[in-house]
Amino acid sequence: MIPTHPIFLRQLRNKGRVNMSERSGNETRARRDFLKLGGLGLAVGAAAAATLDPHKAAAQAPAQSLLRTVLNRGKLIVGTGSTNAPWHFEDDKGQLTGMDITMARILARGLFDDPTKVEFVKQDPASRIPNITAGKVDIVIQFMTVSPARAQLVAFSRPYYIEGVALLTSTKGKMKTHKELIDAGKNAKASVLQNVDADKLVAKALPNAQVLQLDTQANAIQALDSGRSDAAVIDLSTVGWLVKRNPDKYLDSGYHYDTQIYSAAMRQGDPDWLQWVNTCFNVNMHGHQTDLYDQAFGDFFASKPPRRVPGFPSI
Amino acid sequence: MIAYIANTLPFLWEGLLVTLAVSGLVVAISLATGVLSGVGLVYGPWWVRLPIRIYSDILRGTPLLVLIFLIIYGLPLLGIDFGNYGSAVIALAAFKTAHVAEIARGAIQSIHYGQTDAGKAIGLTFPQRLQYVILPQAVRRFLPPWINAVADAVKGSALVSLAGIVDLTLAVQQVIGRTYDPLPMYLLGAAMYFIINYSLSQTSRRLEARFAYIRE
């Protein structure tokens, strides 16, 4: 059916623009034109990169405080996750719960006298800072470790928890205690959640261990379950939560170290909003409204905050 | 184990519906825009071909994840915000459009020019030639790679979970976040994706058989 005789092909070629060789000519030309436009593409890309730079975005903060916007809107929009117990996770009924969620409810109670007036925007940990700078959320409460580097990009609230780090080991693993892991040297593999300075974090407990950085804490633990790592370097709060729930599966290697400050994060350049959040946290952690905080502390960390002592302010 | 899986099914079901909705939207939008672009690439004048060519080359050469983040976080800084769901669907559809355009272009170009000549010879106008001569033949060559692209869209839709949209992947992650028992959940999630895509490839085979009556 397809004519292949040379004369026929030549006729076709002479005929017009749709035969194959002509088309590939068009293609090449189109591609060449595209290359010419490459400079323009670069310029557009550079412009986009400039606008996406969080430093610049932070400098374009709104003149009016977010506090008024939130009050007028009638609900608080909180960026958080849904995949990390005991911080933010769905319970058996599919309701978001956890310490981060409680901190959001505390803010909603302070704003509207109603802890339920919160809209949670579920986000990946990697989206915490972008969602703030893009103005998609009023505040991020998602077990966010305060670091000076991050503080250049967002405004952190006062701390609401001091997290520690611990090494979770498996009852089936070769290395169960911190000493066994240290003795194994670089034969020990440690899985850890991708984070600022995650390598250094592991090195503090296991200076020679190989580091395996993973995208969620659950995957860091999965690596331990599947034998890809000998220890999961995870939050102390999670080790406590897991060992209590699965004593036949997991062990606490016994070494707790390093403190990390957890704070809520907001857009820079809005002192009224930041100050209000700090005040609300203070009242709920040290003042006359500590019921929600204390309840969550017991539920999620199985412990109690120290007794608040009247007199000299400890905050 | 069975009880564990049974308990989690209602949560995954919601996510599955979101995955199907996102995939369906993406496939429908990209089919319309992609076929139009493909026709433009073949028959359009240079000022139609050139932008489509640039668009298609850039989009196919960009990682989908970068595109999603660019639309979700880049556009709001310019004052355009489609919301996370809208942004993710737009990003996936824009990406898929480039692929469908190339599939359509290839399918149309594979129909020999003699067919167009014959159409002209009996006095068919351009739309008529497309409708009655070229496209019915091109459909056959379009379908198999397009179904591949659809299956790819279903799998690619898992990336919307990074935008915080609770699709099947994020629903799986959420259950894992509660139970810290990932393996059964990952297997279950993989099985669900497989069932969707296997039914798609079966449909593809049916369709190919259905159009096989046309002889070259």
CB pairs under 8 A between A and B: 119
In the numeric block, which tokens belong to residue A52? 């996406």
CA-nearest residue to A2 within chain B is: B112
pLDDT of residue B144: 87
Residues of A in contact with B54 (CB under 8 A): 34, 37
Task: Tell me which residues of chain A have a pLDDT lower than 70.
Answer: 1-63
The fold adopted by the segment(s) A163-261 is D-Maltodextrin-Binding Protein; domain 2 (3.40.190)
Query: Is position B94 within any domain?
Result: yes
A244–B contact, CB cutoff 8 A: no
Task: Find the closest chain A residue to B84 by CA distance.
Answer: A136
Note whether residue B200 is domain-resident: yes
B-interface mutation test, from A136, A234, A250, A267, most B Cβ less than 10 A away: A136
ipTM of the predicted assembly exceeds 0.90: no
Find residues 267-306 of chain A whose CB sits inside 8 Å of chain B.
none
Q: Searching chain A, which residue's CA lies closest to the CA of residue B169?
A: A83
Beta strands in A171-249, from DSSP E residues, in sequence order: 189-193, 210-214, 231-235
pLDDT for the residue numbered A44: 45
Smallest Cα–Cα separation from A173: which of A239, A251, A254? A251
Domain of residue B8: give its range.
2-210
pLDDT band at B122 (very low <50, low <70, confident <90, very high): very high
The residue-averaged pLDDT of B48-55 equals 95
Question: Distance (Å) from the C-alpha of residue B50 to the closest C-alpha of chain A?
Answer: 6
Contacts of B57 in chain A (CB under 8 A): 31, 34
Say if B215 falls within a structural domain: no
Name every chain B residue with its beta carbon within 8 A of the beta carbon of A52.
73-74, 77
- Residue-level pLDDT at B8: 82
The candidate with the shortest Cα–Cα distance to B175, out of B14, B49, B17, B56, is B14
B56-71 mean pLDDT: 91
Please answer yes or no on whether B70 and A37 come within 8 Å at the CB atom: no
- In a domain, residue B216? The reply is no
Return the residue of B nearest to A16 by Cα: B113
Q: Which of B41, B70, B87, B174 to mutate to test the interface with A (most CBs of A within 10 A)?
A: B174
Give me chain B's average pLDDT, please.
Answer: 89
> What pLDDT does residue A124 have?
87
Question: Domain A61-162+262-301, what architecture?
Answer: 3-Layer(aba) Sandwich (3.40)
B180: nearest CB among A2, A3, A218: A218
Q: What is the mean pLDDT of chain A?
A: 82
pLDDT at site B121 = 94
Q: Is residue B114 part of a domain?
A: yes
CA angle A92, A95, A96 (to 5 degrees): 115
Whole-model pTM: value is: 0.72
- C-alpha B29, offset from chain centre: 8
For residue B45, the model assigns a pLDDT of 94
Residue B1 has pLDDT above 80, yes or no: no
- Number of domain units in chain B: 1
Q: Examine residue B91 and state whether it is found in any structural domain, yes or no.
A: yes
Q: Note whether residue B55 is domain-resident.
A: yes
The CATH number assigned to the domain holding B134 equals 1.10.3720.10
Query: How many Cα atoms are found within 13 Å in the side-chain-facing hemisphere of A82?
Result: 26
φ/ψ bin of A264: left (φ > 0), alpha (ψ from -120 to 50), beta (otherwise): beta
pLDDT tens by residue, A188-201: 999 998 877 888 98
What pLDDT does residue B161 have? Answer: 87
Ordered by start, the domain boundaries in chain A are 6-52, 61-162+262-301, 163-261
Q: Looking at residue A10, what is its pLDDT?
A: 41
Q: Higher-confidence residue: B146 or A29?
A: B146
